[in-house]
């Protein structure tokens, strides 16, 4: 599946999840910061992906996995995939 990704702020990501605009969530390990993860979401029907960026700068936001899980639980997402760099 070919997906086009857009970088959005965390608040917009949360809004899309709550509105049903994101129906699959991933945590992908950062290549620049080992053991830190980027938050990605996909709308499978429209094949549009979303990646969370920092609010003030145009760079991907990173979290420790335990902190990211807290956000995902708060959003009542029942499951997500974790992609590690090997």
Q: Residue 86 — pLDDT band, cuts 50, 70, 90?
A: confident
Confidence at residue 3, expressed as pLDDT on a 0 to 100 scale: 80
Q: Residue 1 — pLDDT band, cuts 50, 70, 90?
A: low
Domains and CATH numbers, the chain: 4-83 (3.30.720)
**3 state SS for the chain:** CCCEEEEECHHHHHHHHHHCCCCEEEEEECCCCCCCEEEEEEECCCCEEEEEECCCCCCECCECHHHHHHHHHHCCCCCCEEECCC
């Amino acid at each position: 599946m070919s997906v086009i990704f857009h970088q959005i702020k965390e608040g917009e990501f949360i809004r899309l999840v709550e509105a049903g605009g994101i129906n699959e969530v991933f945590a992908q390990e950062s290549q620049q910061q080992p053991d830190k993860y980027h938050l990605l979401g996909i709308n499978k029907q429209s094949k549009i992906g979303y990646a969370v960026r920092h609010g003030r700068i145009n760079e991907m936001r990173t979290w420790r996995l335990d902190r990211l899980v807290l956000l995902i639980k708060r959003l009542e997402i029942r499951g997500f995939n974790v992609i590690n760099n090997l």
